Amino acid sequence: MTYPAIEKLLHHHAELHNSITLANGIQLAAWSNRQVEVDIVHDHPVLSLYVNGGRDTLYKSPQGWRHGGAPGRFCLMPADWASSWDIRNPLHFTHLYYTPDHLRTVAEQVWDKSPDSITLHPRVFADDERIAALFRLFLLNQDWQDPANHLQISTSATLLLQHLIRHYSNVGWAPPAVRGRLDPSRLRRLCDWIETNLHRPLTLQDLAAEACLSEYHFSRLFKHSTGHSPQRYVMQQRLEKARRLVSGSRLPLTDIALQCGFASSAHLSRRFRAHFGCAPSQMRQPGPQDTARTPTSS
C-alpha cells in the first residue's frame, strides 16, 4: 500500500532518502528536511525517530510553541491527529508507517485478544530507550534493500508495535509469558524448510506461518529451542551456506550471493568478512586450473 504521509511530506519539501515496504504492508522511510513550517494530519499512525538534528525543531502545543527534539527522541502521531511544526535547521528522521489493522493483528497474535479499537496516545519529543535501541541497532544500521536483512527488519518493526500497544495505548497489556520449546520434529522440519528457502527474503511472518504459530510465540519458542533468535539463526545459515559454496565450488560470488539470499556480492562480502574474519576470496581454495597457472621456481 502507499501511505499518504509520503506525498504529504514531499509536498512540504522533505527529501526521501530510503524506504522499504515489508511483506505485511508496514513501511519504513528515511527523511530529511530543513527550514520549513509544516501543518499536517496523518491518515494513519506514524512513529518518528529523530536521527540527527531536531534541537531547533518546534512543535505547536496547546500552550504554545515548544522545543525538545534531539537525536534518539521520538514522536508518536496517532491517525487523524493534527500537528504543526517549525523546522529551523537540518533534521534527519525515520518514520514507521502502519495501520490500525497492523496493531490489531499484533494484539491478536501476542495477547490472543481482539479489542474493538486500539487508541494510541500522542507523544512529542519523548525519550524511550527501547524504541531508540530497536531503531538504532536493528533498523538504522541495516541495508534496507538487501533481502537478507528483511527478517531482522520485519521482526524489529513488530517489536516496536508490541511496545507501543503495551506502553502508549488505551489497553496497556503486559506481554504474556511463553514457556516451553518447539517439539523436535517440528523444529527439524522448520530448519529443513529454512535451508531450502535461503534464497528468499524471509520474514518473521514466513517462519511463524511455517511453524503454525503466531509471530510472538514462535520467536520465543524458537529461541528457547535453539538458543538463537530466528533472525540470527537464519543469517548464520545464509553465511554457512555461502562458506560451503565459496570453499567447495567455483561458482561466481554473485551467484553464491543470490543463492544465499543476499542482494549482491558486495552485501555478501561485508557480512562474510564480519562473520568469518576474512573475505570470501581468501577462503576459496585454488582450483586445478588456478594451480596449473601458478608459476613454479626452477
Report the CATH fold assignment for 4-167. Jelly Rolls (2.60.120)
Residue position matching grid coordinates 515489508: 22
| Range(s) of the chain covered by CATH 1.10.10.60 | 184-283
Per-residue pLDDT at 28 = 98
Give the rounded percent of residues in the chain with a pLDDT score beyond 90.
Answer: 90
Nearest to 24 by CA among 208, 228, 297: 208
Q: Is 97 helix (H, G, I), strand (E, B) or coil?
A: strand
| Range(s) of the chain covered by CATH 2.60.120.10 | 4-167
Cell of 203: 520474514
Residue 210 amino acid letter: E
Residue 110 amino acid letter: V
C-alpha 192/C-alpha 190 separation (Å) is: 5
In the chain, where does DSSP find H-type helix? 4-11, 100-111, 129-138, 150-167, 184-196, 204-210, 215-226, 230-248, 253-259, 265-276, 280-283, 288-293
Which are the contacts of 101, defined by CB distance < 8 A and separation ≥ 6?
none
Whole-prediction pTM = 0.87
**Which class is 184-283 in CATH?**
mainly alpha
Per-residue pLDDT at 2 = 83
Tell me the pLDDT tens digit for each residue of 216-265. Answer: 999 999 999 999 999 999 999 999 999 999 999 999 999 999 999 999 99
15-52 residues labelled b (16+ CB within 10 A) or e (exposed): eeeebbebebebbbbbbbbeeeebebebebbbbbbbbe
On the question of pLDDT at 294 being above 80, the answer is no
Tell me the pLDDT tens digit for each residue of 153-175. Answer: 999 999 999 999 999 999 989 88
Residue 49's alpha-carbon distances to 74, 81, 161, 173, 252, in angstroms, are 4, 17, 14, 24, 40
Per-residue pLDDT at 288 = 52
On the question of pLDDT at 1 being above 90, the answer is no
Q: What angle do CA 11, 37, 84 make, to 5 degrees?
A: 100
Q: What residues does 61 pair with on adjacent strands? A: 64
Burial of 270 (0-12, 13-18, 19+ CB in 10 A): middle
Tell me the pLDDT tens digit for each residue of 117-166. Answer: 899 999 999 999 999 999 999 999 999 999 999 999 999 999 999 999 99
Q: Is 131 helix (H, G, I), strand (E, B) or coil?
A: helix
